[in-house]
Amino acid sequence: MSNDDKPSLTDRLANGAFLMVMGLARMLPYDRRIPMVGWLFGTVLAPLAGWRRRIRDNLALARPDLPADEVRRLTRAVPNNAGRSVAEIYSGQEFSSRIHAADPLEGPGLPALEQAFESGRPVIVACAHFGNYDAMRAALAGRGYPVGGLYRPMNNEAFNRHYIPAITAIAEPLFPRGRAGLAAMLRFLRGGGWLALGFDQHDRHSPELRFFDLPSKTVLTPAELAIRYDALLLPIHGIRRSDGISFQVHVGDPVPHGEPKEMMQALNDDLEMLVRRHMDQWFWVHRRWK
């Protein structure tokens, strides 16, 4: 590594603090570790990172009907869920083994998913920053399904050195954003692979659809790839159960092929219904509406 590629002092300090917290957390039993890290994110990190303000701003746009006490609850509960998810990713085999043993896949799209596996048909899994995205990957991998994913490397290179191995241990292959990663991803899909793609973040190059009845720039890539490769397209989300530890992995109805905008609007509508039922599990910190 050249000097230009070395992480900055700030990145190294931030990474060191994260590793220290996770190292201490791993000394606790799993059932105490996950809520402890959730508490740290909800009470310590959220105010320091400005997450509470972003959550309030997004809720004011999407759910202006919410009472003030519910908004206050969500400013803590949303980061708490994010912290739990991070702790689960860094719990490695403990996390994956629990998901595999529970086999939590259910929902109306499960028969179509099983049929795609038996026939070797490619699958586009439309997913979101909801519950724990990696619970979905672990559940699919636990059944032997060939699920891959596209990921964006973190800006902090020091963090990438342990983050990428952590997410790879849950299920692979994983493809980094970029030309080489895209080429490998398309080869995988053409060969009958299953690809998990997110669709719930703002993308300035994408058309405006609707989400919470607000104009929301939404990527068309999941629909376009499904059409191009005759892949099954359906939403799958890992929903955290009320115990805060276990998951229900819901396989939604397949989206019929048609106009890509209409296909993606169907996914937006499906996600909105899910978020309205579990407001604390979607990552309201994202700048979804600009």
Query: Would you list the DSSP string of 31-98?
Result: HHHHHHHHHHIIIIIHHHHTHHHHHHHHHHHH-TTS-HHHHHHHHHHHHHHHHHHHHHHTTTHHHHHH
Sign of CA dihedral 199, 201, 205, 209: positive
Q: Are 109 and 219 in contact (CB under 8 A)?
A: no
Q: Are 197 and 207 in contact (CB under 8 A)?
A: no
Q: What residue ranges do the domains of the chain occupy?
A: 3-281
HSE-CB at 258 with a 13 A cutoff on CA atoms is: 9
Res. 12 pLDDT band, cuts 50 70 90: confident
Query: In the prediction, which pLDDT does 158 show?
Result: 82
pLDDT beyond 80 at 163:
yes
Query: In the prediction, which pLDDT does 2 show?
Result: 42
Least confident segment among 20-24, 28-32, 40-44, 285-289:
20-24
Q: What six digits make up the tokens of 26?
A: 């791993």
Residues with Cβ within 8 Å of 91's Cβ and at least 6 positions away in sequence, in order, are 26, 30, 33, 34
Q: What is the mean pLDDT of residues 192-205?
A: 95
Q: What is the mean pLDDT of residues 208-229?
A: 98
d(CA 137, CA 129): 13
User: Pick the residue with more confidence: 152 or 79?
Assistant: 79
d(CA 199, CA 4): 33
d(CA 108, CA 112): 8
Nearest-Å Rg of the Cα atoms of the chain is 19
Q: What is the mean pLDDT of residues 179-203?
A: 94
- Nearest alpha carbon to residue 126 among 136, 114, 112, 141: 136
Least confident segment among 90-94, 116-120, 180-184:
180-184
Least confident segment among 4-18, 137-151, 169-183:
4-18
Start-end of H helices in 171-213: 179-190
Query: In the prediction, which pLDDT does 3 show?
Result: 46
Res. 242 pLDDT band, cuts 50 70 90: very high
Least confident segment among 52-66, 170-184, 213-227:
170-184
Q: Are 139 and 103 in contact (CB under 8 A)?
A: yes
pLDDT beyond 60 at 1:
no
**Chain-wide mean pLDDT for the chain?**
94
Q: What is the mean pLDDT of residues 36-64?
A: 96
pLDDT beyond 90 at 64:
yes
Q: What is the mean pLDDT of residues 19-27?
A: 88
Amino acid at position 197, single letter: L
Indicate the DSSP class of residue 176. E
Query: In the prediction, which pLDDT does 268 show?
Result: 98
Query: In the prediction, which pLDDT does 5 show?
Result: 62
Q: Are 267 and 126 in contact (CB under 8 A)?
A: yes
pLDDT beyond 80 at 256:
yes
